[in-house]
Amino acid sequence: MRIRLALLLALLLPFVVSIPPAHAAVGLRVSGTRILEANGNAFVMRGTSHAHTWYPTQTGSFAGIKSLGANTVRVVLSGGRWTANGASDVANVVSLCKQNKLICVLENHDTTGYGEQAGAYTLDQAVDYWISVKNSIVGQEDYVVLNIGNEPIGNNATTPGWTQATSAAITRLRSNGFQHLIMVDAPNWGQDWSFTMRDNASTVFAADPQRNTVFSVHMYGVFDTAAEVTSYMQAFQTAGLPLVIGEFGFDHSDGNPDEDTIMAQAQARGIGYLGWSWSGNSGGVEYLDQVTNFNVANLTPWGQRLFNGANGIAQTSVEATIYGGTTTPDTQAPTRPGTPTASEITSTGARLSWTASTDNRAVTGYDVFRGTTKLGSSATNSITLTGLTPQTAYSVTVVARDAAGNTSAASPAATFTTTSTPSSGCTSTYQTTNHWQGGFQGEVTIRCTSAVTGWRTVLTYPSGVNVSQAWSSTLSAAAPVFTFTNAAWNGSIPAGGSTTFGFIGSWSGTGTPPTPTVS
């Protein structure tokens, strides 16, 4: 018996080892809770979504998204609910992702809100679309993730069908030769408040013969507390299943998501996240735009938070090794900022602006110093300083910093002097009383609630303005700041009283002369 058994095993062994394991996959793949590249290197998605199907000409967005440090872009496509993105368009999208060294998550938006929103497609119809563009993405498994359908089921009674519909879609894709990492969205408009995806994810994962499926939850108003965010992420880690935050925002019509916890917990747990969305939002959620009018130089507050904030993309994103990315720490400092320019100077404040720095990854902010004392910080190349001391000379410099904590050399210094504190109980009101081409006449009325024996008013104009003549006052000019003090005969103003002075000015421009800042 022992000899026969050994012989039988020897005969069967070649057939046993020739059968590939069920989880064999090419390109990007799942391993436990992690996503790996083909070389076994862990890859954590850090990026945003781009609404390509509605803005197909905004192809510069791919470079803009990459320039802010992203390693992934989720691209909105349609198979016919909106203008269809055909095979050639999809191939171009993949090419743009590769040119900009971005992992490309392709998603079919047609399924959004199925069963609740008119015109929504089924997941089976989404698979039809993927089959129609198959030749554009087969062979791109190192670069492309296939997000079968966006938010495929709404909040109605069809939600329990999510498990069956998603499993069937995965099975059909695999039987048609797709070997990509597959991403599946949760029901309940992606937010899974019913926990249908959470509680049935293992069943769906087992339906994939390659065991190469990652689960995507969209975190908006349902996830408005740290406890909800943390609990949901922990459930998938406990189950040993991969999760990404496929969409999230800093605010939403259904509540205020806790984006700080989403980003912090994702970073701590090695979970990918993709913010919504680059630009072009409408229907009351325009505040979710990360840049204005697709302009990478015009980040919105949400864009600043996502890309440059704590646990943000610039700070945590690592480029895929398929593009030559590395986990080597960033040691390159930003370039030196330009010399600051001071304007809008008052007794306690001033506005500074300077030429922006550049960085090999991304500049995340600037600090303004007077000597070694930090006066303020800004995410952009301008700042309004407050809390300064009246009638004081300031020499300030600007230092840029990046997400890794590298700091630039200090900018050349800018000097300015704050004005004096306005007389107690007095206010100054300015008006233009006359103007002509290149010239104007101004008037200031000073009113005091308590008696004073002297007064002072400072008018700060934009550059290009000059004041050459004044009456009922003494003028001290250092354009663009013009200081008026009382004449010898009108310094005393009784309580409740007022006095007026005037002047003649010139400016380079047409139309109405500029209005000064009064202090």
Instruction: Sheet containing 517-518: give its strands across.
Output: 474-478, 481-485, 456-460, 517-518
Q: Which of 247, 286, 319, 443 is catalytic?
A: 247
> Tokens 């740290």 belong to which residue?
226
CA trace torsion 351, 354, 358, 364 (10° rounding): -10
Say which residues have a Cβ less than 8 Å from residue 467's Cβ, sequence separation at least 6.
Answer: 442, 459, 475, 477, 479, 482, 503, 504, 505
Q: Give first-to-last CA distance, the chain, whole Å.
A: 105
Please give the Cα distance from 204 to 474 (Å, whole number): 82
> Tokens 């065991």 belong to which residue?
211
Q: Cα–Cα distances in Å, from 242 out to 166, 167, 232, 500?
A: 16, 16, 12, 73
| SS3 call for 163 | helix
Q: Which of 151, 228, 259, 286 is catalytic?
A: 151
Q: Is 319 a catalytic residue?
A: no
Q: Is 151 a catalytic residue?
A: yes
Buried b (16+ CB within 10 A) or exposed e, 329-345: ebeebbbbbbebebbbb
Please give the Cα distance from 42 to 35 (Å, whole number): 6
Cα atoms in the Cβ-side hemisphere of radius 13 Å centred on 268: 12
**Mind telling me the catalytic residues?**
151, 247
